[in-house]
A = this chain, B = another copy of it.
Amino acid sequence: MTRTEKAKPARQSATPPKRGRGRPRKTHDEINDGNRRLALLKSAAKLFRRKSFGATTTRDIAVEVGMHNGSSYYHFKSKKALLLAVMEEGLTRGIRHQIEMLQSFGLGPEAGAAPLPKNVDPRRLLAALIRNHLDILLIKEREFVPVMLFEWRSLTPHERRGIGRLQDEYEAVWMRVLESLHRAGQLVCEVKLARLMLFGALNWTSRWFETSKTEQGGLDLDGVASAASRLILIEKA
């Protein structure tokens, strides 16, 4: 393990030094791009989530997927890029799940762009959004999404804006629902505050909710979800 002195290869100036990492064609055995990239993403998410970004080394991540340290840099240009990719993955997955759920209300992907149609009950839609949110946060995407919540401080202002745009996309429908409810006098406070409080209560669950206890069904999630609904609605059932 001693570091031996070695002649460094002279920088060859005839052709510009083109790095091997640039090209997509596989040079070795099995570089299964999509799979390996996703594996890295998942391991990174898992570790960032549990140990935090700062306490996770790129070696930790590589080892988890059975790679050698430097190899992750074939897929991601830096540790920070991995963090961003994890957050983006979580958000786009969340958005996707939400779009699917909205279909059962006859709503398309652009549902957040305009006021709610008259034929949807905002109370029922809110309940569904909340239930779906908990499902994403605590079950389906429990590795990815919390990283965004916990590691917000690890982003630069510019990076935050980027992630923020995706969050806005996710929250657009919520805003419509809350506005509709507020107009009907059914919110305990103004829309903006209601949204912040609601997401506060919901997102905080990722700190105390343990999957293990209610595995295989997520029974208790219904309880949390309905409590959250009643939180911001007037006229309790």
Of the listed stretches A87-95, A117-125, A192-200, name the one at the interface; the rest are far from the partner chain.
A192-200
29 contacts between A and B (CB under 8 A): A50-B153, A52-B52, A52-B151, A53-B54, A55-B153, A150-B150, A150-B153, A152-B207, A188-B231, A189-B230, A190-B227, A193-B223, A193-B224, A194-B227, A196-B204, A196-B205, A197-B204, A197-B227, A198-B201, A199-B204, A200-B200, A200-B202, A200-B203, A200-B205, A201-B204, A201-B231, A203-B204, A231-B232, A234-B236
What is the distance, in angstroms, from A167's C-beta to the closest C-beta of chain B?
A: 12
Number of interface residues of A (CB under 8 A): 37
Chain B residues with CB under 8 A of A202: 200
A153 nearest in chain B by CB position: B52
The dominant DSSP class at the A interface is: helix
